[in-house]
Structure 1
Amino acid sequence: IMLLCPPVTSQRMQGLLLLIFAKYFHLPFLRGVQTETTRTGLGGYWGNKGGVSARMSVYGHTICFLNCHLPAHMENSDQRMEDFESILQQQQFEGQAATGVLDHDVVFWFGDLNFRIDDLDMQVVKSAIDNNKFPMLWEKDQLNMAKDSETVLEGFQEGPLKFSPTYKFDVGTNTYDTSGKKRKPAWTDRILWRLRATAPALGAGKRGSISGLTSGTKVTQHYYRSHMEYTVSDHKPVSSIFTLQFPYKVDIPLVTIIVEDEWNCVADAIAKFKMAPNFSRSSWDWIGLYKVGFKHHKDYVGYVWAKQEEADFHRQEHEVTFTEEELPKGSGDFILGYYSNNMSTIVGVTEPFQVIITLHCFLEVKTMKCVLS
């Protein structure tokens, strides 16, 4: 369970949905966020099949997430590979670094990839599942076999399929297809990853498989599993948890916000901020006050414009003040976040601090205003 998980971006194409979330303190180091969609259904006219992706730079390292729904049916293994290659060719991003999906330092590829189990008949497959003899099925898995012959799959890795095939079930049950079609069970739902310019394999640790880049980036998979408890679909959901480790290339936020540990009264509600030399500021930028646990950059309690005045051009440090109307009428833990209009994201945050402004404090301020008037 994450302390704060605001959304970074999202992309949808009919039944395909990709959501990217991040802990709040990572937000200032996620840059160059872009999304793409590619339709492959009905010759590229329909989005029931295809891919949606999101890419970004994370602490200076490029990462791409690609969610695909590839063609169905046993005999369409070649078509699945053709569609995958078509998606990779069509998805191009702006900028000089990592213009294509496979140009990224790390790629996560997942979704209903629809690969099936070849050669073995239904009874052999079901017997292997019942007796947990998964290795004999791995050898006939179309995706595993394609890795040996398809150049485009070079470098893609996947954790061991130690769970039962996730397709096809009678809806509402854990029983494989009993309809007239009697689809053979298969691992259609997959999660793979790829590292650019991989170094020699580092082996597998006790807690999961590990792979690394020559630049020092490492990906560790902690688990890879299905969820049999969900019965609303003829597929079973699949999930995985990874840890990414890499040396910082970018470790200074574009905007640094300075705030006191506590705001005890309206007069304390001041924030100072300074910007990195390469930051492109907009007059539509603002600083929001967020309660710990916020889920979106618009979930602020209050905000103030970080307006750029002529006198600001030569200042290294700037200041904003929150008025009574922008403050919560009670206590709690909050953070400040600087929202960049040009980049459409939060580019600077504070550590959590306390706001302890009581009703008595508000009454005192109002009384002072009355006396001064």
Structure 2
Amino acid sequence: GNKGGVAVRLSVYGHLICFLNCHLPAHIENTSQRLDSFERILQLQQFTGTRAQTILDHDLVFWFGDLNFRIADHGLHFIRESISKKCYHLLWDKDQLNRAKKSEPMLNGFLEGELLFKPTYKFNLASTEYDTSGKKRKPAWTDRILWRLKEGAEAGGSEPQTAPLKKPMGVILNTYNSQMQYGVSDHKPVVGTFCLEFDKLITRPLVELQPVGEWKPGHEAIISYCMLDEYPSSTWDWIGLFKVGFRSHMDYITYLWVKDDELMVTDDVYQVYLNGEEIPSSGGEFLLCYYSSNMEIIVGVSCPFQIVPECLETQLEIGNGMDMSCDNAAPGHMDTY
């Protein structure tokens, strides 16, 4: 019911990164069930596109969550005594995940920082004291953060290499620890901070777009854009108007189909028009985003720009009119108009 995995992926300058969050089966005797569940998650999660159709196809995978692996063999007293003396290393070789990494092919390449913090399970609620209930669960590092770099292709061209092959991406773990101050769960959350190093495979967005001129409610607006030659455009591509801070490509205020009113300005620059009635009268700070139907992602984002609120626009017009009437009434200026 509450077990499974959720994956999300993104492209960072051409490098594909996947984040996999899992909640695996519980209890110390269920190591094989945890591994079976993880393998099933890897098999079932399929992505569109040809570069990375499965989780392990990605250039970098972060795997984390309540993985529920326990400390085997050692008794409760020995585990707690080791923790109280901060002799965590005495428990590492009995950690079920550490063991599985040495024997399970699907875990090949997964790395983790040293477990230099107290096991994160099981605590009394709102407490830093381990379980004192009748069950007296043995402490364990159930909550983990691992990562895996894909082996193989280097970043760059296909010319013969004389120097050692350069990895397309590097991962540096800066911190890995638990957060003991939280007490809303019988687990303590774990935080890892990382530094990624990589060459930029993509230095320009697939589509660059921007608003033309000043945008006002009730006035037709112009959007200018250009795209890279390799971009696979579609008749179902669209450009959306979004408030700054939007969370999803479905949060658009309004949108237009690119190909319906596309007008070529130069050999590589296009323009489309947005009906003035579609521009929000409340004004504010907005972005334009180009959505690719073929790739099912946003492939271009404009810089933020302002839309003048309708009420302010009216006030400005009234103010300008008042200035003009004052000028008209001023001596010596009647013949100017």
What TM-score bracket applies, with the shorter chain setting the length?
A: 0.7 to 0.9
Superposition pairs of residues 321-336 of structure 1, within 5 angstroms: 321-329=273-281, 332-336=284-288
What is the TM-score when the length of structure 2 is the normalising length?
0.77
Query: Would the alpha carbon gap of residues 310 and 250 (structure 1) be closer, same or farther in structure 2, given more than 3 Å must change?
Result: closer
* Structure 2 residue 229 is matched with structure 1 residue 229: no
Superposition pairs of residues 287-306 of structure 1, within 5 angstroms: 287-306=239-258
* Structure 2 residue 34 is matched with structure 1 residue 74: no
SS in 2 for 1:74: coil
What is the Cα deviation at residue 365 of structure 1?
8.3
Cα separation, 1, equivalents of 2:71 and 2:140? 6
What is the Cα deviation at residue 359 of structure 1?
2.9
Report the residue type matching 1:109 in the other structure. W
Query: Would the alpha carbon gap of residues 313 and 319 (structure 1) be closer, same or farther in structure 2, given more than 3 Å must change?
Result: closer
Q: 2:102 aligns with which of 133, 140, 148?
A: 148
What is the Cα deviation at residue 56 of structure 1?
4.3
Check conservation: 2:212, 2:224, Cα contact below 8 A. no
What is the Cα deviation at residue 112 of structure 1?
1.6
Cα separation, 2, equivalents of 1:235 and 1:168? 6
Query: Would the alpha carbon gap of residues 341 and 96 (structure 1) be closer, same or farther in structure 2, given more than 3 Å must change?
Result: closer
Q: 1:277 aligns with which of 229, 234, 259?
A: 229
State the 4+ residue runs in structure 1 displaced beyond 6 angstroms: 363-366
1:301-325: per-residue Cα shift (whole Å, max 9, x none)?
4444424358669963222334443
Query: Would the alpha carbon gap of residues 215 and 358 (structure 1) be closer, same or farther in structure 2, given more than 3 Å must change?
Result: same
Check conservation: 2:219, 2:276, Cα contact below 8 A. no
* Structure 2 residue 119 is matched with structure 1 residue 119: no
Structure 1 residue aligned with 2:202: 250
Structure 2 residue aligned with 1:103: 57
Report the residue type matching 2:5 in the other structure. G
Check conservation: 1:155, 1:198, Cα contact below 8 A. no
Query: Would the alpha carbon gap of residues 223 and 261 (structure 1) be closer, same or farther in structure 2, given more than 3 Å must change?
Result: farther
Which structure shows the higher strand fraction?
1
Superposition pairs of residues 179-258 of structure 1, within 5 angstroms: 179-197=133-151, 214-258=166-210
Q: 1:158 aligns with which of 112, 115, 135?
A: 112
Choose 323-332 or 217-226, whichever is displaced more: 323-332
Check conservation: 2:5, 2:20, Cα contact below 8 A. yes
Cα separation, 1, equivalents of 2:194 and 2:213? 34
Check conservation: 2:262, 2:270, Cα contact below 8 A. no
Structure 1 residue aligned with 2:321: none
Choose 266-275 or 348-357, whichever is displaced more: 266-275
Superposition pairs of residues 343-358 of structure 1, within 5 angstroms: 343-357=295-309
Report the residue type matching 2:109 in the other structure. G
Check conservation: 2:283, 2:310, Cα contact below 8 A. yes
Which ranges in structure 1 are unaligned for 5 or more consecutive residues?
A: 1-13, 16-47, 200-212, 367-373
What is the Cα deviation at residue 214 of structure 1?
3.5
Structure 2 residue aligned with 1:54: 8
Cα separation, 2, equivalents of 1:322 and 1:311? 13
Cα separation, 2, equivalents of 1:281 and 1:113? 41
SS in 1 for 2:61: strand
Cα separation, 1, equivalents of 2:89 and 2:69? 16
What is the Cα deviation at residue 351 of structure 1?
1.8
Check conservation: 2:263, 2:272, Cα contact below 8 A. no
Cα separation, 2, equivalents of 1:141 and 1:348? 46
1:143-194: per-residue Cα shift (whole Å, max 9, x none)?
1233233333222111122222111123343332222221100001111001
Check conservation: 1:198, 1:214, Cα contact below 8 A. no
Larger radius of gyration: 2
1:66-100: per-residue Cα shift (whole Å, max 9, x none)?
22232322222233334333433444444433333
Structure 1 residue aligned with 2:334: none
What is the Cα deviation at residue 217 of structure 1?
0.7
Cα separation, 2, equivalents of 1:193 and 1:303? 38
Cα separation, 1, equivalents of 2:48 and 2:238? 26
Using the aligned pairs only, state the percent identity: 51
Report the residue type matching 2:100 in the other structure. A
Choose 260-269 or 274-283, whichever is displaced more: 260-269
What is the Cα deviation at residue 122 of structure 1?
1.1
Superposition pairs of residues 77-92 of structure 1, within 5 angstroms: 77-92=31-46
